[in-house]
Amino acid sequence: MNIPVKYIFILSGLLLSSTANAQDNKYKDSVVQLYGVVMSADSLKGLPAVSVVIKGQNRGTITNEGGVFSIVAIKGDEIEFSSIGFKPKSVKIDPNLNGNQYSMIQLMINDTVFLPATIIKKRISREQFERDFINTTVPDDDISIARQNTNLMTRQYLMATLPIDGKEASTQYLRQSARKMYYFNQNAPQNIFNPVAWAEFIKAWKRGDYRKKKQS
């Protein structure tokens, strides 16, 4: 049985039209007109400027002065309500909802925020300000601290009190060993007859090196 070509095109058009109509009807059936009122849970007063947003999408609205809102959504969407001073709330539209309209009353709970206490004092007089300003101790800056740590008295005190480190100890031991090897099998000279040693001793005495070591 040969079917004319024109009938084949007609049947194809009818099938495509019925499929498109079915999909369009399915889409229309899933669209929901959501409207309602947002109120505070304690006073049951309408809350204005509450953000009503469909989660995961860039679509939303806000409530009017009486807390009323209206938005178009899809069955199964999750609606988020948020406002400053209230805890956020999420509501999911029933995917098996019958019809294309959905009304609701959403209550918002106050979100308590504790702020640190503020202490208010009276303004001080000019005499009190001048007295406190003069008696205020200004802390040293980094340059002043560095100068104090590197002055002559501080360095002398540290040299007299701090123990030598490993490098200084090894250097001193090597010098002593070299001195012993230099005067091996002979009498080493006594520093009591060495004018250079006497000059160093006098300088150390004037600096107070021996006095500090005795006090420590």
**Dihedral, CA of residue 67, residue 68, residue 73 and residue 75, to nearest 10:** 90
For residue 142, give both structure tokens.
């980094």
Spatial distance between the Cα atoms of 49 and 44, rounded to a whole number of angstroms:
16
Sign of torsion, CA 164 168 173 178? negative
Q: What is the pLDDT of residues 137-186, one digit of tens each?
A: 888 888 888 888 888 888 888 878 888 788 888 888 888 888 788 777 77
Q: What is the pLDDT of residues 10-27, one digit of tens each?
A: 555 544 554 444 444 444
* Topology of the domain covering 5-108: Immunoglobulin-like (2.60.40)
Say how many C-beta atoms besides its own lie within 10 A of residue 54's C-beta.
19
Is the pTM above the cut of 0.75?
Answer: no
Q: Domains of the chain: which residue ranges?
A: 5-108, 126-215
